[in-house]
Structure 1
Amino acid sequence: MSEVGLLVLREGDDVAVATRDLSPGDTASASGAGPVAVGQPVPRGHKIALRAVPAGAEVHKYGQVIGVATADIAPGDHVHAHNLGFEEGARDAPLGGAHTELPLPDGARPTFRGYRRADGRVGTRNFIAILTSVNCSASTAKMIADQFRGAALDEFQNVDGVIALTHTSGCGLVPDSEGGQILLRTLRGYAAHPNVAGLLVLGLGCEMVPGAALSARSGRVADLGMPTVGAPDSTRSGLLAAIPDDTVVRSLTIQEAGGVRASVRAGVADVREMLPQVNARERVECDVSELVLALNCGGSDGYSGITANPALGWASDRLVAYGGTSVLAETPEVYGAEHLLTARAVKPEVAQRLLDRIDWWRGYVAAGGGTLDNNPSPGNKAGGLTTILEKSLGAVAKGGQADLAAVYEYAEPITERGFGFMDTPGYDPVSVTGLVAGGANVVVFTTGRGSVFGCRPTPSIKVATNTPMYSVMSEDMDINAGVVVDGTATVAEVGRQIFDRILAVASGEQTVSEELEIGAEEFIPWHMGAVT
């Protein structure tokens, strides 16, 4: 029999995580736990029982409940969907009170080289964006952007690209509905983003969201003559990001320009006129506190909450300690672990905002015939995750230990420094689109199954949770956090690597997805509400 290692995450856990494929007859052991005779095949990243758990009893991992046994579980059994089920149970969600002091690290404050904008914010990229107000102008926008690929920008070294930000909506929604407001906030957030120095707003001419609402420099829905949703928090949901005074803005409507061909000619001329002005921008030295970091994950596995996510949490805490901003998202994927976030809220109303969004999601998914425990996905389960409780406990590790300073609705402007949370779906491109609309200028994206996600105009750093996947998909990954399980690096060491890469990428170093020019198709605003 071979002796193989397990990972026990908290004292008292009923399960451990296998570090490689286990076969019946193996003897598995881990620090703090006695030897376990493996009774069933257990794939790497999956759970193995350390002790007997009777049917109906709670099963613990991370020191938290991840579900209940649906059958008697014996020591050495594979613990997964066949014998572990979801049960929401009762969780105490305190409204603040837990505080972790984040000491400021010794030594000189880190800096990066970014683009200082007129409103004081800092961009990490310098793009010209063609923003469509409606799907009807999407093809035209792409035709314009295609004229500026490859050698067309060789003489404009400070311009990172010309991107067409297209989507599938913009008309047929009730303007003052929740869906209409979300779309407007998202589009305006991209129009005002510090990574966008040149903006061409392209519309058809008869859509629900007029181009003027996207190109105007005003920062409130009401200021644009559009209604806001009549909800208790409509004052906040009516906020729009203000376009900086130094953004070069042009607008064009296809109907007024004379059709698609005429609009392409006019749009190309507008972009060519912008290029020298945008290219004149130069990077300057900026303090680390000017970074707004988006935390996201996709294709999670059994190692996500052990390697990449806590390492990213370390980097997030380091940024917050320096006075920077870090924002977690994916509300359906913190469900079951929300109590760990509310306990860290700086004041009760911040915690209550998160709980209110969880309640909203219960109703939202119920209206669609589902429940929040429909997550994890098939890929998550193949990677070792069984219940949404288990997945969420690993996901919140991306947020480190910092106090929760703010909770935002989807695509709301991110205004509070420190650690925050944004209400988004768990679907990766929709979630990150909301965070970027809020103002995130760097994204770190962790993945266990292997994601090919990219993001423009904000660079996305992808972190692999395990070495086997990294080895197969190394050309699509920026960092391998699997070395934590391999035993060749600690969580803190990988966290430091992530933090250093954030600074380098913010200064202009390309991510692997940027090298492939991936990211424009991943601009997907959250589509919500009736289409009339």
Structure 2
Amino acid sequence: MTHSTSAPRVIRIHPRDNVAVVVGQGGLAAGERLDDGIELKAKVPQGHKVALVALAEGDEVIRYGEVIGTAATAIPQGGHVNETNLHMPTPPALEDLPLATRSAPEVAPLEGYTFEGFRNADGSVGTKNVLGITTSVQCVAGTIDHVVQRIKRELLPRFPNVDDVVGLNHSYGCGVAINAPAAVIPIRTLKHLAQNPNFGDEVMVIGLGCEKLQPSTLVEDRPVKVYENTESADPEANVLSLQDESFQGFEEMIDGIMAMAERHLERLDRRRRETCPVSELRVGMQCGGSDAFSGLTANPAVGFATDLIVRAGGSVMFSEVTEVRDAIHLLTPRAVDRSVGQALVDQMAWYDDYLSQGQADRSANTSPGNKKGGLSNIVEKALGSVIKSGDSPIVDVIGPGERLRKRGLTFAATPASDFICGTLQAAAGMNLQVFTTGRGTPYNLPMTPVIKVSSNSTLARRWHDLIDLDAGRIATGEASIEELGWELFHLILEVASGRRQVAADRLGLYNDLVLFNPAPVT
């Protein structure tokens, strides 16, 4: 990355680039000159691209050293390059990609770093201590919202070592093709959400009774113990159905859920934080509300932190298939072996087919906010998005709803939707998430701390009480990618240890969980 030496400033990432990104708040006006004497032919907003050379119609437009499109019309030197004067290039052909051709970089192990976490019987470690109430069908969502509020008021104060109680509501469970092949995705997502490390292995499922997705399905990997509305109810009960004939009226249903929750809270309250190595971290990396600075500042800093966690033996996952597809040629060489490289290709091909069935294409990804922030198309967005993965080898690929299997860097195949991606990363077992944004979002998850990193200082100043780390300092020259990467790494350890609360948790802001359901709805 090179900077001009005086204002007005632009950033050119790669020597091959024939465009540069405008840094200063408010952008640059027509007639202003860059350090090399180039005169702007039009106003170029902050984050948008200025042509460094004259481009004829059909010429390649290059950023990150990669082709992000061709000029749809002649663009003069100093002209504003944006989505209106670019054509997208064709995506990389999946059958021709190099697989596992890059040797893993030689790096020294990172030792001596720890955090304070909650150890679970299955060997995982939580960064929070939360009671999660899983639901098998949307019909019970209102009841769960009601009972969660009562638990918080009446029970939670008695259990000071429990951080919160969370209802895992969703819109699945009935009126769906439960046996369709693709139904495996939402079903395993719900099963694995209940097993997130921050829930302390206390699985509690509430159902209606007549739904297609029976509550017992979500705990089939452990003994199913149904709550009975009697004085001798099993203290280990993990399933309750509202249609159980032993309940007489709504209040008895609520009493049953409260009694069941109390037993789980008693066990969770016995948990204590203890010192754990960074190898027990499972961190999800995600971006949303991205802008042109995301790939210059926040995502490179996240990528540096990713490599630090991997060097320390921890687990990191990156996701968002449509924000990987146009940069897949940069990732398959990094696969640890050919089978992992082929798994990357297979996930891209599956999603290509999924979009085709829905009569959509990859261009549907880029939002109006992305474009206003300077991202002209999905190709440019993808090239900036994959930088979150750092430089480590990719050791595994998991499908949507699957759990992490290996330490190191994993690609978790998910849609790019913030809410679906977050839900699937939580199901994969992450115990903390880092979320980068350039346009801003109050996004947060109820069971997992979410550290929000702004890509530009303008947003960090405006959203001073919502952003946890300002990576815009990289663009202004106040900090390097390495310095911000280390700062983020230490912040991750502080948040994972409970010593620092993320902004959205302080404000009590939480998004709903959203399942990915590519199967038919009946």
1:201 match: 205
Q: Which amino acid in 2 is paired with 1:97?
A: T
Deviations 1:401-449 (CA, angstroms, capped at 9, x unpaired): 0001111100101011111101111100100110110111110000000
CA distance in 2, matches of 1:102, 1:145: 49
Which of the numbers 251, 271, 279 marks the counterpart of 2:239? 251
Q: Which amino acid in 2 is paired with 1:217?
A: D
1:45 match: 47
How much has 1:280 moved relative to structure 2?
Answer: 0.8
Deviations 1:132-188 (CA, angstroms, capped at 9, x unpaired): 000011111111111133685334221011111100111122223244211111111
Which of the numbers 190, 193, 196 marks the counterpart of 1:190? 193
- Report the CA distance shift for 1:94/1:155 in structure 2 as closer, same or farther (over 3 A): same
1:211 match: 215
1:19 match: 23
CA distance in 2, matches of 1:93, 1:150: 56
Q: Which moved more, 1:43-52 or 1:170-179?
A: 170-179
Structure-to-structure mapping, 1:477-488, within 5 angstroms = 477-488=467-478
Contact 2:326 2:382 in 1 (8 A): yes
Which of the numbers 398, 408, 433 marks the counterpart of 1:418? 408
Report the secondary structure of 2:356's partner residue. helix
Q: Which amino acid in 2 is paired with 1:188?
A: K
CA distance in 1, matches of 2:249, 2:461: 49
1:301 match: 291
**RMSD between aligned alpha carbons?**
1.9
Which of the numbers 458, 473, 484 marks the counterpart of 1:494? 484
- Report the CA distance shift for 1:176/1:460 in structure 2 as closer, same or farther (over 3 A): same
CA distance in 2, matches of 1:477, 1:331: 26
Report the secondary structure of 2:325's partner residue. coil
Which of the numbers 115, 136, 155 marks the counterpart of 1:112? 115
Contact 1:315 1:498 in 2 (8 A): yes
Q: Which amino acid in 2 is paired with 1:432?
A: G
2:90 match: 88
2:503 match: 512
- Report the CA distance shift for 1:465/1:213 in structure 2 as closer, same or farther (over 3 A): same
CA distance in 2, matches of 1:476, 1:115: 27
1:455 match: 445
CA distance in 2, matches of 1:183, 1:97: 34
1:75 match: 77
Report the secondary structure of 1:94's partner residue. coil
Q: Which amino acid in 1 is paired with 2:37?
A: P
Contact 2:155 2:262 in 1 (8 A): no
CA distance in 2, matches of 1:55, 1:522: 46
- Report the CA distance shift for 1:447/1:187 in structure 2 as closer, same or farther (over 3 A): same
Is 1:28 matched up with 2:34? yes
1:177 match: 180
CA distance in 2, matches of 1:26, 1:110: 49
Structure 1 runs not aligned, ≥5 long: 224-246
Is 1:126 matched up with 2:129? yes
- Report the CA distance shift for 1:89/1:434 in structure 2 as closer, same or farther (over 3 A): closer
CA distance in 2, matches of 1:431, 1:147: 30
1:97 match: 101
Deviations 1:327-381 (CA, angstroms, capped at 9, x unpaired): 0100011121011111100111211111122122222112222111222110000
CA distance in 1, matches of 2:310, 2:146: 41
Which of the numbers 130, 136, 141 marks the counterpart of 2:139? 136
How much has 1:259 moved relative to structure 2?
Answer: 5.0
1:264 match: 254
Q: TM-score, normalized by length of structure 1? A: 0.90
How much has 1:277 moved relative to structure 2?
Answer: 1.8
- Report the CA distance shift for 1:463/1:70 in structure 2 as closer, same or farther (over 3 A): same
Contact 1:454 1:522 in 2 (8 A): no
Which of the numbers 317, 331, 337 marks the counterpart of 2:327? 337
- Report the CA distance shift for 1:305/1:316 in structure 2 as closer, same or farther (over 3 A): same
How much has 1:83 moved relative to structure 2?
Answer: 1.0
- Report the CA distance shift for 1:150/1:510 in structure 2 as closer, same or farther (over 3 A): farther
How much has 1:89 moved relative to structure 2?
Answer: 5.4
How much has 1:385 moved relative to structure 2?
Answer: 0.1
1:374 match: 364
Deviations 1:291-340 (CA, angstroms, capped at 9, x unpaired): 01101000000100000000000000000011111101000111210111
How much has 1:248 moved relative to structure 2?
Answer: 6.2
1:288 match: 278
Q: Which amino acid in 2 is paired with 1:83?
A: N
CA distance in 2, matches of 1:199, 1:312: 32
1:228 match: none
- Report the CA distance shift for 1:248/1:400 in structure 2 as closer, same or farther (over 3 A): farther
CA distance in 2, matches of 1:151, 1:12: 63
Report the secondary structure of 1:475's partner residue. coil
Contact 1:158 1:280 in 2 (8 A): yes
How much has 1:522 moved relative to structure 2?
Answer: 2.7
CA distance in 2, matches of 1:502, 1:207: 40
Structure 2 runs not aligned, ≥5 long: 1-5, 225-234
Percent identity between matched residues is: 37
How much has 1:527 moved relative to structure 2?
Answer: 2.3
Contact 1:450 1:469 in 2 (8 A): yes
Report the secondary structure of 2:284's partner residue. strand
CA distance in 2, matches of 1:154, 1:218: 30
Q: Which amino acid in 1 is paired with 2:194?
A: A
Report the secondary structure of 1:306's partner residue. coil
Q: Which amino acid in 2 is paired with 1:52?
A: A
Contact 1:215 1:249 in 2 (8 A): no
CA distance in 2, matches of 1:512, 1:518: 9
1:231 match: none
Deviations 1:37-90 (CA, angstroms, capped at 9, x unpaired): 111110010000001121112111000010111001111000001211212155
Contact 1:3 1:27 in 2 (8 A): no
- Report the CA distance shift for 1:296/1:258 in structure 2 as closer, same or farther (over 3 A): farther
Q: Which amino acid in 2 is paired with 1:180?
A: A
Contact 1:46 1:80 in 2 (8 A): yes
Q: Which amino acid in 2 is paired with 1:485?
A: A
Q: Which moved more, 1:150-159 or 1:323-332?
A: 150-159
Contact 1:13 1:63 in 2 (8 A): yes
- Report the CA distance shift for 1:248/1:390 in structure 2 as closer, same or farther (over 3 A): farther
Q: Which moved more, 1:86-95 or 1:116-125?
A: 86-95
1:348 match: 338
Deviations 1:12-39 (CA, angstroms, capped at 9, x unpaired): 201000012011111113xxxx331111
Report the secondary structure of 1:295's partner residue. strand
CA distance in 1, matches of 2:171, 2:425: 19
Contact 2:236 2:263 in 1 (8 A): no
Contact 2:439 2:459 in 1 (8 A): yes
How much has 1:104 moved relative to structure 2?
Answer: 2.7
Report the secondary structure of 1:385's partner residue. coil
- Report the CA distance shift for 1:66/1:260 in structure 2 as closer, same or farther (over 3 A): farther
How much has 1:218 moved relative to structure 2?
Answer: 4.1
Q: Which amino acid in 1 is paired with 2:139?
A: C
CA distance in 1, matches of 2:310, 2:106: 8
CA distance in 1, matches of 2:213, 2:116: 36
